[in-house]
Amino acid sequence: MPGIRVLLVDDHAILREGLRSLLSLQQDIQVVGEAGDGQTALDLIAQLKPDIVVMDIAMPGMDGLEATRRIKKDFPETRVLILTQHDNREYVFSLLQAGAVGYILKKSGGAEVLNAIRSTFNEGAFLPPGIAREVMDRYIQRPPAETGRPHLTEREKEVLRLIAEGKSNKEIAEQLFLSVKTVMVHRTNIMEKLDIHSRTELVKYAIRQGIISVQ
């Protein structure tokens, strides 16, 4: 039997069909299922126990970021390889923080996709060389976290400040020259790091930490 059991998760059926056709030609890889959203993926993982989930980010319902967090928590033996069109470094770091172990762009060739799947299975991770260097640089340059205080990146602090000032996701995106989806990723990460689940609590935190001031 093939050694690598793969679940394909993307809301575009034609992309899943293309990947399935590519992987079906490999003797060491078996596609055990497909899903078009994160919740369906979680249900199938519980049934099928895949080794690797090839995961898109932007999907209806539960997106790839939240699904990755849930997989890390509920199915730690299953590895998530992100396959996306978004060539955005902030996505990479957010997804790695969420529990993904690999990242590859949809514009990559078939050989690179196969290499990513095999590397994720055999070595536990896969990142393209340029992204791997940035991850290492960020890790080396990261200041030690203060005891008892979650570490927010400078970008996350900027987003938090604007959220606390009452800005919408669209307004924050325009001010920071980001996409709305990137702002939403930052917002989700901030709330998870701080264990805060409402704008009101975010405002209180920002005031306590001096991120914004009360006039």
What is the pLDDT at residue 146?
45
What is the pLDDT at residue 189?
85
Residue spans of the domains in the chain: they are 4-137, 154-208
Report domain 4-137's class: alpha beta
Please determine whether the domains at 4-137 and 154-208 fall in the same fold group of CATH.
no
Using the predicted structure, report yes or no on whether residue 1 has a pLDDT greater than 60.
Answer: no
CA distance 145 to 106: 35
Over the stretch 7-54, which tens digit does the pLDDT of each residue have? Answer: 999 999 999 999 999 999 999 999 999 999 999 999 999 999 999 999
Encoded amino acid at 201, one letter: E
CA distance 206 to 196: 12
What is the pLDDT at residue 197?
78
Query: Which token pair is 58?
Result: 């932007």
Over the stretch 91-149, which tens digit does the pLDDT of each residue have? Answer: 677 788 788 988 898 888 999 999 999 999 998 888 877 676 666 666 555 554 444 55
Beta bridge partners of 33: 7
Measured torsion, CA atoms of residues 61, 64, 69, 71, in degrees rounded to the nearest 10:
90
Report domain 154-208's class: mainly alpha
